[in-house]
């Protein structure tokens, strides 16, 4: 099984698909490494900053990119805005799952790109000379919700507490259920999605791990629960962002990830029952 990186959550940064190395899948020996923050590029002992690329064995500035917005949209024509400082004219926008893409404008501090994205989660990537410089995970939901799915009512104050509101007591916050229905096309897939969302929600409900042993125990439980839902599906990015949707919830998740202390090996996880 190919190792994946786990990154601290931030709604304005890339969130990698999390590939949990479950003991029940039989995958041992693979290493998941935790990456914190931007990393410098190092090739042939040439160390470049995150806002630089290597060209002709030199570090070349391409500008500092601050953000790509919006990152949660509906599947209709959308203008994406990239902001930064001293943005290179060589920067090219690549969004493979977005139809009729075109560059609207480009300056030293702002780039505007228009297209119609497909439903799901897709990367909008900025490249220079085909070298990726920055990317943002874009979440795209349906223009209208699925009326065939029985949904709870939207809470008036969904973010009043860390755990949130779950009036129908199914283990998933009500507003997360409603949002998931924007991405799911049928009831069977929706019920499977709730299994994954419920697994993430338990991170908010449990006490944060105080050491690596506790963190590995939580990761074992989480990976086993996810194996009953949509494990390793692209949609896991959606459930992750929807569950940890504000700074307090992101902090709770990041505390759990940090406690893993550099990553974990599949053989360290407890067998699924």
Across the chain, what does the average pLDDT equal? 78
Buried b (16+ CB within 10 A) or exposed e, 41-71: beeeeeebeebbbbeeeeebebbbbeebeeb
At which residue do the structure tokens 């697994």 appear?
199
User: Which of 78, 111, 141 is where one domain is finished?
Assistant: 141
Range of the domain at 56: 41-141
- Does the reported pTM lie above 0.85? no
pLDDT at 51: 75
Same domain flag for 174 and 79: no
Instruction: Report the candidate in 144, 140, 115, 132 with the shortest Cα–Cα distance to residue 51.
Output: 132
Reported as type and span, the H/E element at residue 124 is strand 120-128
Same domain flag for 223 and 157: yes
In this predicted structure, the answer to whether residue 36 has a pLDDT above a threshold of 60 is no
Given the DSSP bridges, would you call strands 131-141 and 120-128 parallel, antiparallel or unpaired? antiparallel
Q: How confident is the model at residue 4 (pLDDT cuts 50, 70, 90)?
A: very low
Same domain flag for 93 and 137: yes
Q: Tell me 154's DSSP state.
A: P
Query: Counting beta carbons within 10 angstroms of the beta carbon of residue 271, is it exposed (0 to 12), middle (13 to 18) or buried (19 or more)?
Result: exposed
pLDDT at 228: 58
273 inside domain: no
Same domain flag for 64 and 17: no
For residues 243 and 176, the answer to whether their CB atoms sit within 8 Å is: yes
Same domain flag for 52 and 32: no
Spatial neighbors of 153 by CB under 8 A, at least 6 apart, are 167, 174
pLDDT at 216: 92
User: Which of 75, 107, 141 is where one domain is finished?
Assistant: 141
Q: What's the pLDDT tens digit per position in 154-176?
A: 999 999 999 999 999 999 999 99
Spatial neighbors of 27 by CB under 8 A, at least 6 apart, are 1, 21, 266
Same domain flag for 30 and 49: no
Q: What's the pLDDT tens digit per position in 244-262?
A: 988 899 999 999 989 988 7
239 inside domain: yes
Distance between CA atoms of 158 and 20, rounded to whole angstroms?
A: 28
Same domain flag for 260 and 241: yes
Same domain flag for 195 and 263: yes
Domain of 135: which CATH number?
A: 2.60.40.10
User: Which of 120, 141, 162 is where one domain is finished?
Assistant: 141
Q: What's the pLDDT tens digit per position in 115-139?
A: 999 887 888 999 988 888 888 888 8
% of the chain at pLDDT higher than 70:
77
Q: How confident is the model at residue 48 (pLDDT cuts 50, 70, 90)?
A: confident
Total domains present in the chain: 2
Same domain flag for 178 and 196: yes
pLDDT at 22: 30
């Amino acid at each position: 099984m190919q190792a994946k990186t786990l990154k601290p959550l931030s709604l304005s940064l890339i969130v990698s698909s999390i590939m949990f190395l479950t003991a029940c899948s039989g995958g041992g020996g693979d290493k998941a490494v935790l990456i914190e923050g931007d990393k410098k590029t190092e090739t042939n002992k040439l160390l470049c900053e995150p806002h630089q690329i290597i060209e002709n064995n030199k570090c070349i500035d391409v500008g500092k990119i601050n953000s790509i917005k919006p990152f949660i949209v509906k599947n209709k024509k959308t203008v994406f805005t990239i902001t930064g400082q001293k943005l290179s004219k060589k920067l090219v926008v690549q969004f493979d799952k977005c139809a009729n893409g075109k560059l609207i404008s480009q300056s030293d501090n702002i780039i505007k790109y228009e297209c119609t994205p497909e439903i799901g989660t897709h990367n909008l990537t900025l490249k220079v000379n085909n070298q990726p410089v920055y990317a943002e995970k874009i979440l795209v939901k349906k223009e209208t919700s699925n009326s065939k799915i029985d949904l709870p009512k939207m809470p008036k104050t969904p973010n009043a507490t860390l755990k949130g509101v779950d009036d129908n007591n199914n283990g998933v916050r009500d507003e997360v259920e409603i949002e998931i229905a924007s991405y799911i096309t049928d009831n069977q897939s929706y019920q499977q999605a709730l299994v994954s969302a419920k697994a993430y929600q338990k991170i908010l409900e449990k006490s944060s791990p105080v050491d690596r042993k506790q963190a590995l125990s939580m990761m074992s439980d989480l990976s086993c629960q996810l194996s009953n839902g949509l494990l390793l599906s692209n949609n896991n990015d959606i459930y992750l962002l929807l569950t940890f949707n504000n700074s307090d919830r992101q902090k709770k998740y990041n505390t759990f990830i940090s406690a893993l202390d550099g990553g974990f090996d599949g053989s360290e996880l407890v067998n699924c029952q």
